Structure 1
Amino acid sequence: MTRLQYVCANKASFDAKISILSLSPDGLHLAVAAGTSVVVLNVEGHPEITLDHHSVVSSIVWADDDSFVSGYQNGTIFFSTLTFGDDGHVVIKSTGFQTHHDESVSAIQLNPAQNSMAVASQSQLQIWTGGTKYNNWAWTLSKTLSLAEKGEKLISISWTTFTEASLLYLVYQGLIIGWDMLSWSARFCWGAPANSYIVAVSRYGDCYLSVMPGASNPGVGTYTCHDLAQGIAGARFEHLYSPLTPVVFAHEQENQVVVCGGLREASLWEVSYSNSLIHTIVHDTPDNCGQLLTCLAANYSNAEGEAESYTLAMAVDCELLVWSACPAARHNQPEGLATARGWCTTM
């Protein structure tokens, strides 16, 4: 277990409570939703561009390193692509359309391999096809499914494609439903273990993360960390086909933010998580940063030839704080040294 000190980067204040944080896959940009605005910040925490589509933002998902999709409470979706203008500054091109939902967009998931997109409200799931940033995101509605009322909030969608089947996972707090995209039928259901709830599922559908308040040992397909009495603030799975797949999530604990990482064990469909944490980063919430953690995004990198690193973005009410850290031994850095950048570099 390694403890790393995090350094509070430049704070950014917003006029409304921050509701969503979403890091780009390369960790170089952060999309922040506050009220009706989406603000894109660079790796150092400086705002680059602001979008306002006059409806409350309900979902943000990155399509690739420089494109993201945002969903809104009025049922609209906007695709935004970051480019550089003639003066070298970042500019953004945004294309929107109506999803035919009469209610707020609950979750969005893209499937680049099939050039498809799933958009869900609480009662309806739509499948769109054909849109890319190269054809101005010209999507065509392919399928609409009615979702049975589960009595629980739909928290995310995950999409996976194997050789024999394409499955779409609807993740509720206590239930995961796997839809077979060939027969358009519910293929299976996973129920969360007793007294626990599901917070995330991996992109490839091979494992899910559920938490049990006060639990000390992880079970199959679950991971637990310390006392979760105050609940999970954010969760992030890393999406690698590997016997050892890191998982990163965080929660509040006695006015601290605890970030936990674990290693996946066993085979693809027999998933468990070890109790040994790859890192635990504990940060005492500073007095001038408030006391309430409202949302969180984590980015983990362990690319070939590069050292392991974390980027952590945390929203406290209307304020945004960004940290990053990496194991000192991997960078010949003094123990506990952290930078305010998304990538750890040798100092």
Structure 2
Amino acid sequence: MAAPLQRKVPSLTLSEINQSRKNELLAWVKDTGVKLLQINGQRKYGGPPPDWFGSPPPSGTEVFIGKIPQDIYEDKLIPLFQSVGKLYEFRLMMTFSGLNRGFAYAKYLNRYSAQKAITVLNKYEIQMGCHIVVCRSTNKCELCIDGLAPSVKECHLLPMLQELTTGVLSISLHPSPFKRQRQLAEVKYISHQAAAIAKKALVEGTLCLCGDQIEIDWLKPNIKQELRSSSGQAIPKILSAGGSCRDSLNEELSEPADCHKLPMLGSMLDYLNLQCEKQQLGRPQFFTKCVQSNPEGWLQFWYHVVIPRYLSPFSGFVWIKPDDSGLEDNEKAKNVVALQLLGALGCPVV
């Protein structure tokens, strides 16, 4: 006996489902007035949001969101992550076809809200059978380019990467641990966002550097440690405000520097440049940004200094207090940092 014929029920394709989700997103944007900006493979809300006043949030306030269904958008995600704390920024990674890439980043006002998001929303069932992952975002700023030919030099690679990407701070070449007779480049960027955009541009673009099968990825901690061990490089030491050495690239000078007690403050930057020239280290490149102030009027500056021929860059934080010396706050911060670097380089300060 023949089996009875079954009537076929038409099913929606992924593109049809996605179009429905897009329509819901557009309706939500219209109703709420939320502004989304799409650039470089990501769609961003905030950074800062419209009602934001003051400096950006400190480090440790961003969370990574993974395993997002590809047809889920900001109309579902932003309200969900706003339910645990005030959002400073939300970034959803996008494909060219208009689907999300399965992950996003949410930055909060403070670390407490970020931790609450991890506690409350990790393994949250955002769609039937789909549980998202929420964890602390790691501020990765370094890429590795593996498979470079032995003939490639830093002086060749740097201008090429500066043309293809933005925010390059430093480059160092090492014998590749994975490819015989090849080199691996360690490339540091000014921020995680700059590094992420650079990684996307380099992976999706065509990078010709006289080498075959060039691979571009994040520089993982174990690879970085292996490169340091094989080259015998020691981690450079940064002087604290008290003058003691610390084995860290990200030390905060916790006590504000009293600028009036610093000798030759107005000339510290010039003096550092002179000493670096004498030691043939190259002219230091400074990146500074004011990140916060305290009730007493002190300003905290983040700094990152690259000395071209020194082993590694210097990063950290300094406090300065504005006064009537005539120097801009940014220049004053550079001079305070220059004084610390002079000590780290073993230069006499008179």
Shorter-normalised TM-score: what interval?
A: under 0.3
| Structure showing the higher helix proportion among its residues | 2
Larger RCO of the pair (alpha carbons < 8 Å, separation 6+): 1
| Structure showing the higher strand proportion among its residues | 1
Q: TM-score normalised to the size of structure 2?
A: 0.25
